Amino acid sequence: MGRCPVCGNRMSVTRLHCDSCDSALEGCFDTCRFCQLSQEQQVFVEVFLKGRGNIKEVERELGISYPTVRSRLDSILEALGYQADPAEDCSRQRNDVLGALDRGELTADGAAKLLKRM
């Protein structure tokens, strides 16, 4: 709902309606920041929350790789108005890969490939 299907700009809510008493309120209302995410981003957030932030669960459910999960997460954070610090992000990614290796979720070769991409 957040983006205009014609021009791609942000849409706003101009009318609220109560189904129970048929009251209506008109004006210009902001939507929540999550409502402004694309449909694909909203699905990702739902899967991420359902999996309690477990990236391995997100990978499994969406059928995407670890770097893709990280990339989508970063794009959602940016869409919500947060800026990632590149140095902090790289350090966090390395720690995530090493943690996954330690937990047996990645092989040494898989971890090495991911670390080389950073």
Given a contact cutoff of 8 angstroms between Cβ atoms, the answer to whether 46 and 52 are in contact is no
In this prediction, residue 88 carries a pLDDT of: 66
Which band of pLDDT confidence, cut at 50, 70 and 90, is reported for residue 84?
Answer: low
What the block records as the tokens of 106 is 């990645």
Distances 111 to 44, 87, 100, 115 between C-alpha atoms, Å: 24, 19, 8, 6
Mean pLDDT of 36-64: 93
In this prediction, residue 13 carries a pLDDT of: 86
Residue with tokens 């957040």: 2
* Domains located in the chain, CATH noted: 1-32 (no CATH), 35-117 (1.10.10)
Which band of pLDDT confidence, cut at 50, 70 and 90, is reported for residue 58?
Answer: very high
* Spatial CA neighbour of 79 closest among 42, 31, 36: 36
